[in-house]
Structure 1
Amino acid sequence: MPNNPPPEADFTLGDIPASPPVHYAEQALLGALFLDPHRIKAIGRLDPTHFSSARHRALFAAMTELTPPAPDLHAKAPVWINAVHAQARPHSRGLALSYLHTLAGACPEPAHAPAYARMVRSDHARRTIRAHAELLIQAATDAGLPDPAAVTLRRADELAALVDRLAATFPSHPGSLPRTPAPALPSLQDGPDIASEEQLLLSTATAYPAALPPMRWLRPEDFTTVLYGGLYRCLASLSGRGEPVDKVTVLWEAQQHGLLTAAFGPHEALELLATPAGPPEYWGEQILRRSLLRQAHLAGLHIQAFTEDLANSPHQMITGSRRTLANLTAVRTRWQHATRQPPVARPPARPGPAARAGPYPSRTGAPIASSKPSR
């Protein structure tokens, strides 16, 4: 007997998702303008792109391109609705004249057209902010970009400019902070290459502590591994107090910070700090770049969550977005400072037990040691 798969359930009207509230606001606004076309002068600035439905965009564009009929003619004959239909139909296939009559019947009160227009503008602001937040997330997580930091910061600038423009459009009101729960944090990048770069930063900074004072742009929270961030805090603390920095002093500081465990004891710490290669600034920039992209990813997720919460007003989304982007700006300031800072002059790196080969571009253009083990 053939094993026939069970038939799939038929698609029913119940499977169609419910229309969002803005759909009915758009219908009511267009209906008001069909019933009283001269009210288009009272709805404020509104563009066809503000509408979420392509059909509604075509109808409103037709209304803005045509001259409304005289009131006495409009009251006697359906010249306005016929003219709008003829103008919009080439831009919206399948647009039936009956739908325009449906829109006229969907308007509770034509005098409320300005209120309907405000609803349309508010939802357009929500969709636009969400689209820019998605572009920010995409840039921060796209490993194939040639310069992900530059693209991500450009997306952040575009989002900030949009928020500033919208802030001049929507008035403030009490309770302006959004109450949307914070989204789940993005998972940290991991892998042998990332761990190796953080280890190399620790070992080279221990070997060349003169690089630590100029590297104040790097913070322990920039590290993806908490242990390595703690070890960097030990290095920064010793350097900040003007105390000697070497493998043993860092080991003692790590003990004082409670970083030594059964899995990471003195032997493991000394071994980790014993293989310097390349300038600390280079490895620090790699770590800070990942921190910048991670913060941008988190900012995009937060702003996206604000827009998906329909309880937030435009002003709440604007306020929340500005605060979220301020956190990204703090990391961005450190990144800009790091990439403009000249390297500290030092002697060539000493070969360690795990010698590394292959050129990395240094800040001066000369090749420096690679993190790949030699064969």
Structure 2
Amino acid sequence: MSPLLEAEQAVLGAVLLDPSQLRQLGWLTPEHFHRPVHRALFAAVRKLHADRHPTSAAENAVPLSWVTDAVAEAGRHVRGLTASHAHTLISACPRPAHAPVYGRMVLEGAIHRSVTAHAIRLHQAARADALQREVEGALRCADVLRDVLTDLARRWGTEPRPVDPGTPPASSPAAAPPPGWAKGAEEEQILLGVLAERPKGMDEVVGWLRPDDFADPARGEVYRCLGALHHRGEPIDRITLLWEAQRRGLLADGTLSPGQIAAICDGVGPGSAEWLGEQVVRSSVTRTAAASARAIRALAEDEALAPGRLINHALYTLAPLDEVRTRWQAANGRPAPTSPAPSPNGPPSAQVHAALARSAPRPVSSSSAPPGAAPSPAAVRPPSRGHG
């Protein structure tokens, strides 16, 4: 049995044994549980507790009716749930007082699953857009993923901020590109020929088209050479382009060959540099979205990665897509979206509550403590915030 499944059983067993533990689990929702029967049972106990079930506030032994009513309520939404299963959950809970810790484990698993699911949707949308020669689906999914990451950070009690993961995660091999990307490679070749034949076309694209937008790194280097000649105000033709490539060592290291440059310069046809450049950037958007999705999925599938680090690394991995999206919008004359300004008063209270609720020890009731007794170390120890 996986640790996550044991944590789900333990938190359910804790609230069945001690309904008062639900007061410390306000940040945990039924959707955070992986198994449908666990989701239904946690929703049931939350409902009974909110409806002020007569036994939910019991201070001593909890009557059996609390368990049977919870099973009956959950049984309205799932099949096969019996009282014996509920007692199995109770026996799986080592310490009911540890319910917030078990709940944090459940939330951690939910964060990894949620990020994985949204990364898969982003990758699927990017491939569909490449096939249909569009970008809106991928950009919409990227916005949803960013909102999800921000919400998960608030639930986990951390500040969402991009953090470089350092060593890139070992993502799964890229699937075969759809036909849309093959069409983009053809447009890259035509664009370079147009720019070599009519250098003034560089003025139309140089502000938002970058070498990394080209699917083929060799064609990207040709565009870099064209940009360097244009920047210096030097003439552009087959000879000067070949000379620039040699000066950059592209011929010596095999990145380019004289034949490739000749094919670009001699194969020019009619075309608009601006329109072709837009197609190249559009293909770059979908490729970048797919690459970001694969990297984020690899991060989410790393069970050793703490949720706070996963969220911030995923936000960092979305940054290249934000950059190429901004240039795509510039190419189309659309204003770039503005990010919401951070709150000047610090993190929202709900975020602070989430961090404290999942870490703070249960306070000692003043009514139960003997008069004049000193507080226990657990009651005065500050809550730990080192959960990543």
Give the TM-score band, short-chain normalised.
Answer: 0.7 to 0.9
Q: Using a 3 Å threshold, how does the CA distance of structure 1 residues 212 and 162 change in structure 2: closer, same or farther? A: same
Query: Please, what is the CA RMSD of the aligned residues?
Result: 2.8
Matched, 1:69 2:54: yes
Aligned residue identity for 2:247: Q
Contact 2:188–2:276 at 8 Å: present in 1 too? yes
Bigger RCO (CA 8 Å, 6+ sep): 2
- Pick one of 316, 321, 346 that aligns with 1:323: 316
1:221 to partner: Cα distance: 2.1
After superposition, give the CA deviation of every residue in 1:166-186 in whole Å (9 maximum; x if it has no partner).
22232459xx86577332563
Which residue of structure 1 aligns with residue 7 of structure 2?
A: 25
Instruction: Work out whether 1:207 is the aligned partner of 2:197.
Output: yes
Q: Aligned runs of 1:195-344 on 2, under 5 Å? A: 195-216=185-206, 217-260=208-251, 266=258, 269-274=261-266, 275-340=268-333
Q: Structure 1 CA distance, aligned partners of 2:255 and 2:325? A: 35
Residue matched to 2:359: none
Q: Deviations over 1:174-200 (max 9, x none)?
A: xx8657733256378588644431221
Alpha-carbon separation, structure 2, partners of 1:267 and 1:83: 79
Say which SS state the counterpart of residue 91 (structure 1) adopts: coil
- Which amino acid is 1:46 matched to? L
1:93 aligns with 2:93: no
Identify unmatched segments of 5+ residues in structure 2: 335-388
| CA displacement at 1:258 relative to structure 2 | 4.1
In structure 2, distance between residues paired with 1:230 and 1:166: 40
* Amino acid in structure 2 at the alignment position of 1:182: A
Distance in 2 between the 1:76 and 1:292 partners? 58
Cα 1:273/1:112, change in 2 over 3 Å: same
Q: CA deviation at 1:108?
A: 0.5
3-state secondary structure, aligned to 1:169: helix
Return closer, same or farther for 1:258/1:328 CA change in 2, 3 Å cut-off: same
Q: Name 2:119's counterpart in structure 1.
A: 133
Query: What is the letter of the counterpart of residue 125 of structure 2?
Result: A
* Whole-Å separation in 2 of the counterparts to 1:312 and 1:54: 25
Q: Is the contact between residue 223 and residue 291 of structure 1 (CA under 8 Å) also seen in structure 2?
A: yes
Q: Which of the pair has more CA radius of gyration?
A: 1
Q: Distance in 1 between matches of 2:172 and 2:155?
A: 31
Question: 1:120-159 residue pairs with structure 2 within 5 A?
Answer: 120-142=106-128, 146=132, 148-159=134-145
Deviation, 1:308, is 0.7
One-letter code aligned to 1:109? R
Q: Whole-Å Cα distance in 2 between the matches of residues 303 and 138 of structure 1?
A: 14
Contact 2:24 2:100 (C-alpha < 8 Å) held by counterparts: yes
| 1:40 matched residue in structure 2 | 22
Q: CA deviation at 1:264?
A: 7.0
* Kept in 2: contact 1:44–1:114 (CA 8 A): no
Taking only the aligned residue pairs, the percentage that are identical comes to 40
Q: Which position in structure 1 is the counterpart of 2:355?
A: none
Is 2:41 the partner of 1:55?
Answer: no
Q: Is the 8 Å Cα contact of residues 221 and 229 (structure 1) preserved in structure 2?
A: yes
Letter in 1 for 2:53: P
What do residues 285-340 of structure 1 show as CA deviations (whole Å, max 9, x unaligned)?
22222222111111111111111111111101111011111122122111111122
| Deviation string, structure 1 residues 23-45 (Cα, Å, up to 9, x no partner) | 11111111011111122112232
Q: Which amino acid aligns with 2:43?
A: A
CA distance in 1, matches of 2:13, 2:184: 58
Task: State the alpha-carbon separation in 2 of the partners of residues 76 and 293 from structure 1.
Answer: 56
Note the alpha carbon deviations across 1:215-260, whole angstroms, 9 max, x for none. 1221222222232222211211111101122333323323433445
Change (3 A) 1:231 1:122: same
The 1:180–1:27 alpha-carbon spacing in structure 2 relative to 1, beyond 3 Å, is farther
Q: Which moved more, 1:269-278 or 1:235-244?
A: 269-278
Q: CA deviation at 1:136?
A: 0.7
**How has the CA–CA distance of structure 1 residues 156 and 72 changed in structure 2, closer, same or farther, with 3 Å as cutoff?**
closer
Aligned residues: 321
The 1:35–1:180 alpha-carbon spacing in structure 2 relative to 1, beyond 3 Å, is farther
